[in-house]
Chains A and B, each alone.
Chain A
Amino acid sequence: MTNDTITIRFFARLREELDTEQLTFPAAPGLTAGDILSELAQRSGPWAQLDGDQPVMIAINQTMSKATAPVQPGDEVAFFPPVTGG
């Protein structure tokens, strides 16, 4: 990971359906977690669900966050379905 990128991680159903565990995303001034979701949703196939009806939870640096939360270079942003442990 370099200083000008963000690490994106996917878990559970999203990881399987997107067939992606991790990717890097270019950091940009004023970028939010929601912006990343919208941009990834432009990709073809299963990626469209990121902007769909199904809820997507967001964690920035392992803390639950909102889509409006700003993202900095070097951050780890995770997207995943609502949790179902216990």
Chain B
Amino acid sequence: MISIQNDDFDPAAEYAGLRDSGAGTGAIATFTGLVRDHGDREGVEGLYLEHYPGMTEQVIAELIEEASRRWDVRKARVIHRVGRLALQEQIVFVGICSAHRSDAFAACEYIMDALKTSAPFWKKELSESGEHWVEQKDTDLARTDSWDD
């Protein structure tokens, strides 16, 4: 299930939802991303996130399908926030139910890596010195590419 939303989310409630989903789970891996105080520049005071409604959900659904082809994925949950976010706020959540630990870890990391380089989200850093659209990182592209090595 995929949610693109302005509102915050509760990782504990998301975990409980995955655990209680009846998906035959033996392992749950979750990842939560937060707004940090540095990115392309120092002194970041917050972020503004924009996305392409419709395409975003479609791309993430395809990533979940691809992860399900590669690993045992019983259930997947992806939340990504958009709009204005302050430091330490939660941006993104990925939760994966699997029969096995290694599949849960791998699927969770793959979806997170691929999401960063293929889902149409854009981050703008907000600081005292002004606003700055974040540039795509070669390291992020390399991480996504490494799944196909």
As a 0/1 sequence over residues 130 to 149 of chain B, the CB contacts with chain A under 8 angstroms (1 = contact) are 00011110000000000000
As a 0/1 sequence over residues 27 to 58 of chain B, the CB contacts with chain A under 8 angstroms (1 = contact) are 00000010000000000000001111011001
As a 0/1 sequence over residues 55 to 86 of chain A, the CB contacts with chain B under 8 angstroms (1 = contact) are 00001001110000000000000101111111
Is the interface on chain B under 10, 10 to 19, 20 to 34, or 35 or more residues?
Answer: 20 to 34
Measuring CB to CB, which residues of chain B are less than 8 angstroms from any residue of chain A?
A: 33, 49-52, 54-55, 58, 80, 91-92, 112, 115-124, 133-136
Residues of A within 8 A of B52 (CB): 9, 11, 59, 62, 78, 80
Residues of B within 8 A of A78 (CB): 52, 55, 120
Residues of B within 8 A of A63 (CB): 55, 58
Partner of B115, one of A80, A81, A82, A85: A85
Which 5 interchain pairs have the tightest Cβ spacing? A85-B121, A12-B122, A82-B136, A86-B116, A62-B55
Query: Which partner residue on chain B sits nearest A9 by CB separation?
Result: B52
- Complex contact B58–A85 (CB within 8 A): no
B123 to chain A, nearest CB (A): 5
Query: Which partner residue on chain A sits nearest B124 by CB separation?
Result: A12
Measuring CB to CB, which residues of chain A are less than 8 angstroms from any residue of chain B?
A: 9, 11-13, 16, 59, 62-64, 78, 80-86
Partner of B121, one of A9, A59, A86: A86
- Complex contact B55–A83 (CB within 8 A): no
A15 to chain B, nearest CB (A): 8
- Complex contact B55–A84 (CB within 8 A): no
Between A12, A64, A85, A86, the greatest number of chain B beta carbons within 10 A of the residue's beta carbon is seen for A85
| A–B Cβ pairs within 8 angstroms, 28 of them | A11-B52, A11-B120, A11-B122, A13-B122, A59-B52, A62-B52, A62-B54, A62-B55, A62-B58, A63-B55, A63-B58, A80-B120, A83-B119, A83-B121, A84-B116, A84-B122, A84-B123, A84-B134, A85-B49, A85-B51, A85-B92, A85-B119, A85-B121, A85-B123, A86-B91, A86-B92, A86-B112, A86-B119
